[in-house]
């Protein structure tokens, strides 16, 4: 039962919303956090938000708490004892091979989180429990103070997680990774579809993901809430450097499989054709936690910057932004953020999935390495074309992909869920 925003009128009364996640929403450092942060900060202008979230070792728990207290009424952060990389993560993965549960669920099955939820849910009545991702679907969230109505459960899918894991089983970097993903994705599918069936509503990033879900659960109550950008933050500014005519930028969290695959594919299969045609061209790869396989790609004309605190000067200076993704789901925040900055983008079809941008006007779409390189070369040779596409992309971002509009649509979906359940 797909829902569209025009189906419900807005009401002024405030909702009491509990936001549950396996990671903190703020400060946003990568795509998943940016979606949570963007929607939550906008919702908090009209509603009361309480956050209960796990925190892995990679995050500074005090920094996260301070950032979220700006817009949340209450913030409860629980340190995840399994949220470690390295040997600890590998041991968890081995454990999951002999478990009926997926690795993704095992690593977030934390008794202290359920205890925190029990305390919060029994102390105050919530209208909505908003669950980020399906991984915490085992948590007991339908609780309320004695005599009060139970909250409705709404899931933010972000992506069809089991389908992404299935892609890894086919296209993993090594035989071991493919075999592991092959064993894990079926467990994840059972868990993910289970929580979608249990939920009162599921919202997704794209119509394509919505259709994938409805094929499995035709009676699911769904809505498309697209990824967006803070169009006031990501915008061309007079103080930013102008496009330098030679720098090609890719950005994203570089520890994820889709980003690792995209960077290797671009640098090995596409970049040599660009570099040959443009002796002054430079490739800049921006993002935190790059693995050794990516660090090895650095050279005189290929720079890996690591994490940068402010993307905007780097994007402003770029002649073009590339999104050569071959794996993934949901929609790419990197595209809407680059659009908001007024940049010309070259993407694969998969990379731009779910974004209603017109090829040739708002974005360039190419799937084959030769054609992709030719599109980049064209933008480097024709700065006026890059500027025209970037201006059109900026207009589209402001009109269709601002967090304020996405949050308004989400509020409408909440209202629909509550009306059906009343």
Q: How confident is the model over 105-147, as pLDDT tens digits?
A: 999 999 999 999 999 999 999 999 999 999 999 999 999 999 9
Using an 8 Å Cβ cutoff, are 56 and 85 in contact? Answer: no
Using an 8 Å Cβ cutoff, are 330 and 319 in contact? Answer: no
Q: Where in the sequence of the chain do the CATH 3.40.50.2000 domains occur? A: 2-225+403-421, 247-400
Whose tokens are 């509550």? That residue is 418
* Model pTM above 0.85: yes
* Mode of pairing for the β-strands spanning 128-132 and 16-21: parallel
Identify the band that residue 4 occupies on the pLDDT scale cut at 50, 70 and 90. Answer: low
Identify the band that residue 10 occupies on the pLDDT scale cut at 50, 70 and 90. Answer: very low
pLDDT tens digits, 207-223: 999 999 999 999 999 99
Using an 8 Å Cβ cutoff, are 184 and 96 in contact? Answer: yes
Compute the distance between CA of residue 359 and CA of residue 349 in angstroms, rounded to an integer: 10
Identify the band that residue 73 occupies on the pLDDT scale cut at 50, 70 and 90. Answer: very high
User: Strands of 2-3's sheet, edge to edge?
Assistant: 2-3, 222-224, 201-204, 152-156, 128-132, 16-21, 48-55, 74-79
pLDDT at 9 over 50: no
**DSSP tag of 6:** G
> Which pLDDT score is estimated for 300?
94
Compute the distance between CA of residue 4 and CA of residue 334 in angstroms, rounded to an integer: 25
| DSSP H or E stretch at residue 189 | helix 175-198
- Per residue in 138-149, is it b (16+ CB within 10 Å) or e — as a string? ebebebeeeeee
**DSSP tag of 5:** G
User: Once rounded to an integer, what is the mean pLDDT over residues 357-378?
Assistant: 98
Compute the distance between CA of residue 199 and CA of residue 155 in angstroms, rounded to an integer: 7
Higher pLDDT, 182 or 149: 149
- What are the phi and psi torsion angles at 208 (to 5°)? -65, -45
Please, which residues have CB within 8 angstroms of residue 403's CB and are 6 or more apart in sequence?
38, 39, 41, 42, 228, 229, 230, 231
- The CA distances from residue 319 to 69, 315, 408, in Å, are 38, 8, 34
The two tokens of residue 35 are 């979606």
Compute the distance between CA of residue 20 and CA of residue 69 in angstroms, rounded to an integer: 15
Which class is domain 2-225+403-421?
alpha beta
Using an 8 Å Cβ cutoff, are 376 and 274 in contact? Answer: yes
Using an 8 Å Cβ cutoff, are 199 and 131 in contact? Answer: yes
Please, which residues have CB within 8 angstroms of residue 139's CB and are 6 or more apart in sequence?
20, 113, 114, 117, 131
Mean pLDDT for all residues in the chain: 93
Closest CA to 156 of 67, 217, 227, 78: 227
Angle at Cα 75 formed by Cα 70 and Cα 79, nearest 5°? Answer: 125
Q: Round the CA-based radius of gyration of the chain to a whole number and report it.
A: 21
CB burial class (10 A; 0-12, 13-18, 19+) of residue 130? buried
**DSSP tag of 269:** I
Superfamily of domain covering 247-400:
Glycogen Phosphorylase B; (3.40.50.2000)
> Which pLDDT score is estimated for 169?
79
The two tokens of residue 78 are 């629980």
pLDDT tens digits, 235-288: 999 999 999 999 999 999 999 989 999 999 999 999 999 999 999 999 999 999
pLDDT tens digits, 180-206: 777 889 999 999 999 999 999 999 999
| Residue percentage of the chain with pLDDT more than 70 | 95
CB burial class (10 A; 0-12, 13-18, 19+) of residue 325? buried
């Amino acid at each position: 039962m797909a829902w569209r925003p025009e189906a419900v009128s807005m009401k002024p009364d405030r909702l009491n919303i509990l936001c549950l996640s396996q990671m903190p929403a703020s400060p946003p450092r990568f795509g998943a956090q940016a979606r949570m942060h963007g929607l939550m900060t906008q919702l908090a202008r009209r509603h009361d938000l309480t956050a209960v979230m796990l925190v892995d070792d990679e995050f500074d728990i005090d920094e996260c708490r301070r950032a979220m207290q700006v817009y949340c009424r209450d913030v409860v952060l629980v340190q995840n004892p399994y949220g470690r990389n390295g040997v600890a993560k590998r041991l968890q993965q081995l454990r999951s091979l002999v478990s009926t549960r997926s690795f993704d669920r095992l690593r977030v099955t934390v008794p202290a989180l359920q205890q925190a939820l029990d305390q919060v849910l029994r102390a105050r009545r919530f209208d909505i429990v908003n669950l980020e991702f399906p991984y915490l679907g085992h948590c007991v969230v339908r609780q309320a103070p004695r005599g009060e109505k139970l909250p409705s459960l709404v899931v933010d899918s972000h992506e069809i997680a089991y389908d992404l894991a299935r892609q890894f089983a086919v296209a993993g970097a090594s035989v071991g990774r493919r075999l592991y993903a092959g064993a894990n994705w079926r467990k994840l599918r059972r868990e993910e579809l289970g929580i979608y069936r249990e939920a009162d509503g599921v919202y997704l990033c794209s119509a394509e993901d919505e259709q994938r879900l409805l094929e499995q659960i035709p009676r699911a109550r769904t809505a498309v809430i697209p990824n967006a950008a803070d169009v006031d933050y990501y915008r061309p500014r007079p103080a930013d450097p102008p496009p330098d005519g030679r720098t090609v930028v890719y950005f994203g969290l570089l520890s994820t499989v889709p980003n690792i695959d995209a960077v290797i594919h671009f640098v090995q299969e596409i970049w040599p054709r660009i570099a040959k045609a443009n002796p002054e061209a430079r490739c800049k790869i921006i993002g935190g936690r790059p693995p050794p396989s990516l660090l090895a790609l650095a050279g005189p004309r290929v720079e890996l910057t690591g994490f940068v605190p402010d993307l905007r000067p780097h994007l402003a200076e770029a002649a073009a932004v590339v999104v050569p993704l071959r794996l993934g789901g949901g929609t790419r925040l990197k595209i809407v953020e680059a659009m908001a900055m007024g940049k010309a983008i070259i993407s694969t079809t998969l990379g731009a999935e779910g974004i209603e941008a017109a090829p040739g006007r708002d974005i360039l779409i190419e799937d084959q390495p030769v054609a992709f390189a030719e599109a980049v070369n064209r933008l480097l040779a024709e700065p006026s074309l890059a500027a025209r596409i970037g201006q059109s992309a900026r207009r589209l971002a402001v009109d269709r992909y601002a967090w304020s509009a996405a949050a308004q649509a989400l509020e409408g979906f909440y209202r629909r869920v509550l009306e059906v359940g009343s």
